[in-house]
Amino acid sequence: MSAFETPEEMKRVLTKMAELMQSDEAMLKASKGKNLTMSFEFPDLEVFFYTRFLDGKVEGGLGELEDAEIQLTMDSDIFDGMFTGKVNAAKAAMKGDLAFSGNVAAAMRLQSLMNDYQRVYLAAKSAALGPKG
């Protein structure tokens, strides 16, 4: 079962997440010295999202990127579980619920941002969906 009732619902959360990331002090600080793009594909809802870390600047938004250094494919419930702390990413990958391709070393460097990603995602979900989020 999807964590979101419609693709539009997930898009609202991801759009808010991108907006919050761009001004989040911890994420901006963590992006210093990094030049990295990640793309996310959610086949269950046919939604695409990306984030870019550009040496002190963070960008994100809806859309598909062909040239991302890291590509992640998962259903929306796995993504929601990862960012709400209910799903372990490594276990999801081992079970085949999460497909990863690209620069493994770069992905490992982003592991330190997981708490910030989770914090920003939860704030975005709450702002976009209200109490049900």
The answer to whether the pTM exceeds 0.75 is: yes
Q: For residue 27, is pLDDT > 70?
A: yes
If one counts the domains in the chain, the total is 1
Q: For residue 109, is pLDDT > 90?
A: no
What is the CATH classification number for the domain harbouring 103? Answer: 3.30.1050.10
User: Coil, strand or helix: which one is 44?
Assistant: coil
Alpha-carbon span 85 to 35, nearest angstrom:
26
- Tell me: the pLDDT tens digits for 44-102? 999 999 999 999 999 999 999 888 999 999 999 999 999 999 999 889 989 999 998 99
| Strand 47-54 with 58-62, pairing | antiparallel
pLDDT of residue 131: 73
Kindly state whether residue 107 falls inside one of the protein's structural domains. Answer: yes
